[in-house]
Structure 1
């Protein structure tokens, strides 16, 4: 069946989050999207190089500020976060520090973040270079990918890496989530067992 890894996709409105997921999930490109209202949920299996199957639970979040209050509840227990920006919009790129800070403030165990630059097919409209992205990625110690939902360039590689990182994060979480019985409860259980033996 494979493990379930929760992946949250965040970023400003209209940067291409829904287009990215639609390309990955269904291999189709829809040029004109209505903006996401609240949260959309998708799921897909990815086969790792190790042969393991990982089920990515993909949460497509709304970029509009009025929906932002919903996001913290969806950030809980996520294995990886994709922060998406538009390479043709310097404004969306300049918003990356805000999103990184937002994620850090609303998650207890800091999940890995991957930066995703969208719309690289629009060469003549590019405002953000790969070097720009690599500089900010190095500053925050993040992975960075540039992709195109229109052509599909980089999409499979992005989600292969996402699945690998999410799977490793999930394994760490499962290792850390050992069940501990409080001492008082443990003592009472022992007393119950002892009393039963005596009778």
Structure 2
């Protein structure tokens, strides 16, 4: 049996951004309407399988967004291979907003992004990858604030919008994580989450949960 390789993933962002709900949607295919607030650090894991027979254990460290717990976060970022930075899009992109309120919420979201991106960059190792997540996209319209969009583009990090409630892009997000070419294992064909294994002639895909 092939050795199960471990990938440490830390999830950061403001309190209420939906970090815990996002993980619950991935791990349990379930949406919690009123999840408990994370106190300090919470830990979960899930094993995903590569098509060449290798398995990866995703260690998922859910960090509290409250300011009093932020001194705990740097240590987990330093030893992680992937940092997921979760932003709450539900307020800033809601349909019925006056222009002045939209600008305030745009500023708040930008400040959250800049703050957490700075914490990640200050503490990450050379092998830590960052993925920015615009969460709660089920509550938004098609309008995207230009300032936030510009800053996300300037970071040159991967970006994806998700919904823990509808599970939109949940599979795709964690496939992005599992498919990264980590030094510990070779890049190989990956099996999509909850889908049959492909034939050898098919192109590279992403992971299947167990």
TM-score, normalisation: structure 2 = 0.72
Partner of 1:171: 184
Number of aligned residues: 168
- What RMSD in Å do the two structures reach over aligned CA positions? 2.3
How far 1:94 moved relative to its partner? 3.2
Residue 27 of structure 1: which of 13, 26, 29 is its match?
Answer: 29
**TM alignment of 1:25-174, pairs within 5 A:** 25-48=27-50, 52-89=54-91, 90=105, 91-109=108-126, 111-123=128-140, 129=144, 134-165=149-180, 168-171=181-184
Distance (whole Å) between structure 1 residues aligned to residue 153 and residue 109 of structure 2: 18
Q: Which runs of 5+ in 2 are unaligned?
A: 92-104, 186-210
Distance (whole Å) between structure 2 residues aligned to residue 17 and residue 56 of structure 1: 16
Greater fraction helix: 1
Distance (whole Å) between structure 1 residues aligned to residue 52 and residue 150 of structure 2: 31
- Point out the more displaced range, 108-117 or 149-158: 108-117
User: Taking structure 1 as reference, are residues 146 and 41 closer, same or farther at Cα in structure 2, changes over 3 Å only?
Assistant: same
- Point out the more displaced range, 151-160 or 47-56: 47-56
Q: Which runs of 5+ in 1 are unaligned?
A: 173-199
SS where residue 171 of structure 1 aligns? coil
Larger Rg over CA atoms: 1
Asked if 2 retains the 8 angstrom alpha-carbon contact of 1:15 and 1:86, the reply is yes
TM-score, normalisation: structure 1 = 0.76
How far 1:105 moved relative to its partner? 1.2
Distance (whole Å) between structure 1 residues aligned to residue 183 and residue 64 of structure 2: 25
